Each structure stands twice: as structure tokens, then as C-alpha cells.
Structure 1
Amino acid sequence: MWSTFSSSHSKIAEAIDSSADTLSIRTKLPVLKLKNIQVNEILAHAREQAPQECCGVIGGDTTDKATSVYRMRNVAAAPLVTYEAAPEDLFAAQRTMRERGAELIAIYHSHPRSKDPQPSETDVRLAYYPSAVYLIVGLGSEEPCLRAFRISERAGSWEAAEFEIVADSDQ
């Protein structure tokens, strides 16, 4: 049911069930809700992988409440400027999400040299999950910058999306 995500041309898209067009696209887009601990996990992953880009997925429920962060290994040919999730990492995350009754609600990656990250042309071209929120971590200044986007690969466009960071005891 899932296709792959990548910021480089995906060699694994053919290996994964190509029924991504059967994913339900929500008409009312809820605000992504992340716990502090989840945001810290994403930022730590980005810092640990710098100067290479990191990548991962976030599982959650249909109200876009994040329940789990899944780190992926970046197997892109040029990981300093692009990302491609290791297929086995993505499969494992998807299996775990299914077992927990969760779905893929967000995809994250980093732009290690960007102060105010925005989706690159490659990010837009390869945004295969129209219902997912795309988070990008910029590490180009002392404080990291986390931004959220809705990306339409078909339209070749993106727009800023809202997300909310809640206390770890909330949700």
C-alpha cells in the first residue's frame, strides 16, 4: 500500500507496492501534533547525520497526532545533498505502523546547510505522499529550524503547513 519516499530518484519505488494512488487523501487537513520528545528525536537525528542529510518517517493516527518517529538510513548516492530511505528501514517502519494501527502521517529530512529550509525542486518532484506533512530541519545556524510543508508532486508545488509541539504528557 505504501510507496517510497526519496529526494533522489528512487530505485526502490518499483519494489514497493505501487498502489499509493489508493491512499485516502484527506480533504480537511488536520494540524500535525508532535510531542517535545519527538521533535528532539528528529533534531538529534539531523545533528548526528550532519553534514549528510537525515531522513525518517512519523507514524500517527488519522487526526495527525504523532505516535512514533522512525529513523531511516540515508542510502542516497549523494547524501550530502539528497536523501533516499533504506528500503528495509521503510518496510520495517511500515510493518510496525500497521501492527500498531497507525499510518504514515509525516516524512522528515534535513537540509544541513540551510538556515530557513524549504523544499527543493527534487523534494517536490519526489513527494509521493500527498497526504503527508513534510518536515525539514535546517541546521545552517546555531539554532536548528524545523519547518512543515504540504507538497504536491503532481502540481509541482508546496505550501507551508502548520504543526504544533505539545508537552510530552499531552495528546
Structure 2
Amino acid sequence: MIVITEKQYRDILEHSKKTYPNESCGLLGGIIENETRYVKKVYMLTNMDNSPEHFSMDPGEQFGAVKDMRSNGWLMLGNFHSHPESPARPSEEDKRLAFDPNASYMIISLLDEENIVIKSFNIKGDQIFEEKLITVSE
């Protein structure tokens, strides 16, 4: 299970809408307690590819985010990215690039702007497990 605040949820949605029609991307920093992942901070990063079909995170921004996580005693829980024109499920490229089987891979579908969907997954090789995503008030 992964837990984010309502504000973090809204911030991810806004970042994804702002980068549309390209994919958005970012990192999730936080803690793990009793196998539940609590996001403490969402890091909005630049998609260096400027593409609606794939993303590459800015290395300098990634380094800064990881440095901030470490200074706060947090773990990198995973990442997020948007799918501007497809459902909130891992694409073949997402599965191929999912190197960390312990990470959360959050995907935002902007396919229907009236019904934006955010889902989170663990990807272990060919196995995909949807995580329960909980939003809590600040």
C-alpha cells in the first residue's frame, strides 16, 4: 500500500496537466512502516525527452531530489510519470525499464481529462502488482 496526501495527489495531477501533451515525471520520497509506504515529498522533475511517449528525468534534478531525501532520512519509494494518451497501466517500455523490483511505479492517465486516473504498481520482471493507493488529508 502507498499513502499520499490529498495535496500531493493534486500536485501530481497539476504537474501532469502542465506538461501535457508530454509525459510528466518525478520521484517519490518517504518512509516505509509495516510494509506501508508513506510519501513525505513528491519531487516534480523535468522530462528531458519532451515526449508524449516516454520520459528521461533530468539527472541534476534527480541528484538534488535524492540528496534532499537523504538529508531528511527518507527513502526513494519510487517514481511517477503520466500517460497523456493511454490508460494508467505499465506500458511495455515501462516494464522493460522497471529496474527496481521494490519501487512503486505510479502512472497517471490523462486519456480522459474529466476522469484522470492515478494507479501505482510494483513491477517484478513480467509480474505486475497493483498497489493500493490511499489519499489522506493533510
Relative to the length of structure 2, the TM-score reads 0.92
Q: What count of residue pairs does the alignment treat as equivalent?
A: 134
Give the 3-state SS of the residue equivalent to 2:32 in structure 1: coil
> Aligned pair 1:68/2:38, yes or no?
no
Q: Partner residue of 1:128?
A: 99
Identity, % of aligned pairs?
30
5+ long unaligned stretches in structure 2: none
Matches within 5 A, 1:11-160: 31-63=1-33, 64-76=37-49, 79-114=51-86, 116-141=87-112, 142-152=114-124, 155-160=125-130
Relative to the length of structure 1, the TM-score reads 0.75
Distance 2:82 2:59 in 1: 19
Give the 3-state SS of the residue equivalent to 1:61 in structure 2: strand
Deviation at 1:160, TM superposition (A): 1.3
CA radius of gyration, larger in:
1
Give the 3-state SS of the residue equivalent to 2:82 in structure 1: strand
Deviation at 1:134, TM superposition (A): 0.8
Deviation at 1:109, TM superposition (A): 0.2
5+ long unaligned stretches in structure 1: 1-30
Q: Say which structure is richer in strand.
A: 2
After TM superposition, which residue ranges in structure 1, 4 or more long, deviate above 4 angstroms?
none
Deviation at 1:159, TM superposition (A): 2.0
Deviation at 1:106, TM superposition (A): 2.4
